[in-house]
Amino acid sequence: MSQRVIGLDIGTHAVTATELRLGRGGQVTVTRFGQVALRPGVVANGEVVDIGEVAAALKRLWREGGFSSKRVVVGVGNQRVVVRPTEMPAMADDDLRSAVEFQAQELIPIPLDEAILDYQVLERFMNHEGAEMIRVLIVAAQREMVANMMAALSQAGLEVALVDLVPFAILRSLVDLNSFGELDADEVAGEAIISFGAGMITMVVHEFGIPKFIRTIGVGSQDFTQTIADELDISFDEAEGLKRQVSLGISGDQAVDQAADIIARRLVPFVEEVKGSLEYHTSQASSAPLGRVVVTGGGRRIPGLTERLQEALGCEVVVGAPFARFELGRTNLTQDQLREAEDLASVALGLALAGRPVERGARRLTLLPPEVHERKEQRRQAVLVGAGVCVLAAGLFWMGQSRQSKAELADAKAAAEQIRVNQLQSAVDELQPIAQFEALVDERQLLVETALSADVTWTKLIQEVATVMPDDVWIDTFIGAAPTRTEPGSFTVTGSGSDHTSSARWLLRLEALQSVSGIWIPNSVRKSDGEFGGLSEVSFASTGILTDRAMSSRIDRYLIDGTDDVTLDVDEASLLTDDVVDEVEEGQ
């Protein structure tokens, strides 16, 4: 019997879904594919920012795509997902979970109570002493980031079967992991798979299908669009249109030619960013040389990108074809349309492939929140209880029919069982207010989180900047902007230094701060010479993006972790949370 699986990719510019039919003998058929665009800022840096808009887009995608189920496999992969490889002695699964949690305290730069943690055993090997070892990939995702994604999926009426890692999905969709069985270690070099998305670049280097290096870079094709918009002083949508015309090879128009020049200039640091990451990996003693690079994603269509990569990396660069290994069934699109959308499908396709059954004794990594697991188990227990009641009632009915001589006794037993059924139903009814209370608490907690989500500790941030600031740099102005629903928080600094190396040191020092990212110096200008030919100062401007470390902890005053001591009824909870939200709004 065939199985249907749906992979869902929530990207920066669109939500994309692919449905597969998994047949006997490992046969895979693509049966559905769909995509719905998102407004800029609805998903930023791989995170759901506007839950309502993402939910609306998902509803439209399901309405127009004709998917057979609302059960999906989703993925996460951004700079709030931390991936760390480690090696440890082989051990039983129960012991391995404890060992991973212990190792994670040192390897993962996220407090474990704020993260969802899981692991994947990549391979087993013998060390130089002959002891069996395992190579494990530890993965941690910010709980808040996953919760926002789960909230959007819940609003859209979708059920999450698995939360996979996006780099795993890309590897799964473009590499036949069963094709390395007969190869020797010296027959295959490393292969890099690079997905160029709208908002980020995802890189996976593998050897024999085993991930050796995973990195996510927070830049993408939309950075080219923004640069065009800034330099030509046009809207983002107009810049996107020019970029697409350049991609199609259209020329002769002044604006298109200007956009082509901007793209060519922007490609240089873009390619260098990728090259630097891959050179870091190949410089490790245990890494195999890079033999080939496979590119995918909508951003790979940037004119000249493939050629620049091949020139910079010195190895073959090919375009990935995720649909090539699978049969294309009768979908809602023609085969030509599917092939055209192939660059956009690799993540969703790889996520759907994660729904295939695993081998006996194996486990599959998932970043599904533990509370979701618990709710699923509770529903399963409820189904078992209901099934038991039904079986018992059916048995009593059969006994009453087959033993007419004992009709009175059977009736009495049936009546007793009916009483038990009624008691069970009464117990279920009593649990309804608890479910309502839980929903109300979740709703109120979301209100508080929303109210304080943009609360920045500016004083602490400025103190941190002053602590790491070079001695020969002076700050003239500091302008900060709190995060909004569509944009992250940011700051702009104008300053002075003794020479151009001062601004360079400023850049290096601030990159060490955990409360800021994306530090950039758009300009650095030396003033006119000083008196008597002396050296003159340099003035510069610097910008940056605020991270979660810059946010205040006021939210902890209003949220209670755990419900063991909560005895409020629904009305009391409503009044209390109303007061909290009012207090927060007054404080802001």
- The answer on pLDDT for 578 being more than 80 is no
Structure tokens that stand for 110 in this block: 């996220």
User: Across residues 167-188, what is the average pLDDT?
Assistant: 69
Q: Which pLDDT belongs to residue 183?
A: 42
- Assign 379 a pLDDT band (cuts: 50, 70, 90): low
Q: With H, G, I as helix, E, B as strand and everything else as coil, classify residue 294.
A: strand
> Which of the 8 DSSP states describes residue 233?
T
- Give 38's contacts (C-beta < 8 A, 6+ positions apart): 11, 12, 13, 14, 15, 53, 54, 57
Distance CA 36, CA 57 (A): 6
> pLDDT tens across 308-330, in order?
999 999 999 999 999 888 888 88
> Which of the 8 DSSP states describes residue 88?
E
User: Across residues 278-305, what is the average pLDDT?
Assistant: 90
Q: Which pLDDT belongs to residue 558?
A: 63
Q: What are phi and psi of 511, to 5 degrees?
A: -65, -20
Q: Which pLDDT belongs to residue 585?
A: 47
Alpha helices in 354-468 (DSSP H): 370-402, 407-452, 458-468
Q: Which pLDDT belongs to residue 93?
A: 84
Structure tokens that stand for 106 in this block: 């040192």
Q: Which pLDDT belongs to residue 529?
A: 60
- The answer on pLDDT for 39 being more than 80 is yes
- The answer on pLDDT for 119 being more than 70 is yes
Of the two residues 33 and 379, the one the predictor is more confident about is 33
Span 458-550: which CATH code?
Answer: 3.30.1360.100
Q: Which pLDDT belongs to residue 381?
A: 58
User: Across residues 215-242, what is the average pLDDT?
Assistant: 92
- Give 20's contacts (C-beta < 8 A, 6+ positions apart): 4, 5, 6, 7, 28, 29, 30, 31, 326, 349, 352, 353, 355
Please name every residue paired with 210 in a beta bridge, in sequence order, or none if there are none. 207
Structure tokens that stand for 569 in this block: 């009824």
Q: Which pLDDT belongs to residue 569?
A: 46
- Give 148's contacts (C-beta < 8 A, 6+ positions apart): 47, 48, 49, 51
Q: Which pLDDT belongs to residue 415?
A: 74
User: Across residues 13-27, what is the average pLDDT?
Assistant: 90
- The answer on pLDDT for 199 being more than 80 is yes
CB atoms within 10 A of CB 508: 11
Q: How far, in Å, are 112, 215, 272, 309, 497 from residue 292 at the CA level?
A: 37, 17, 17, 11, 45
User: Across residues 132-155, what is the average pLDDT?
Assistant: 95
- Assign 436 a pLDDT band (cuts: 50, 70, 90): confident
> pLDDT tens across 325-361, in order?
888 888 878 888 888 888 889 999 999 999 888 777 6
Element (H, E) at 44: strand 43-44
- Assign 377 a pLDDT band (cuts: 50, 70, 90): low
Span 1-78+138-184+323-368: which CATH code?
Answer: 3.30.420.40
Q: Which pLDDT belongs to residue 573?
A: 46
Distance CA 161, CA 147 (A): 15
Where b means 16+ CB within 10 Å and e means fewer, 279-294 reads eebbeeeebbebeebb
> Which of the 8 DSSP states describes residue 357?
P
- The answer on pLDDT for 2 being more than 90 is no
> pLDDT tens across 484-519, in order?
878 888 999 999 998 878 888 888 888 888 889 989
Share of residues in the chain with pLDDT > 70 (%): 82
Spatial contact of 101 and 239, defined as CB atoms under 8 Å apart: no
Q: Which pLDDT belongs to residue 172?
A: 93
Beta-strand ranges (E) seen in 143-209 are 159-165, 190-196, 201-207
User: Across residues 251-269, what is the average pLDDT?
Assistant: 90
Please, what's the largest Cα pairwise distance for the chain? 123
Q: Which pLDDT belongs to residue 53?
A: 97
- Assign 32 a pLDDT band (cuts: 50, 70, 90): very high
Topology match between the domains 1-78+138-184+323-368 and 458-550: no
- Percent helix, percent strand, percent coil in the chain, to nearest 5: 45, 25, 25
Of the two residues 388 and 167, the one the predictor is more confident about is 167
Q: Which pLDDT belongs to residue 233?
A: 94
Structure tokens that stand for 258 in this block: 């200007």
User: Across residues 142-149, what is the average pLDDT?
Assistant: 95
- The answer on pLDDT for 180 being more than 80 is no
Q: What is the mean pLDDT of the chain?
A: 83
- The answer on pLDDT for 582 being more than 60 is no
The pairing of beta strand 47-48 with beta strand 43-44: antiparallel
Domain locations in the chain as residue ranges: 1-78+138-184+323-368, 372-440, 458-550
Quick one: CA dihedral 323, 324, 329, 334, positive or negative? positive
User: Across residues 1-6, what is the average pLDDT?
Assistant: 86
Q: With H, G, I as helix, E, B as strand and everything else as coil, classify residue 248.
A: coil
Q: Which pLDDT belongs to residue 167?
A: 94
Please name every residue paired with 546 in a beta bridge, in sequence order, or none if there are none. 516
The region of weakest confidence among 150-154, 217-221, 284-288, 370-374 is 370-374
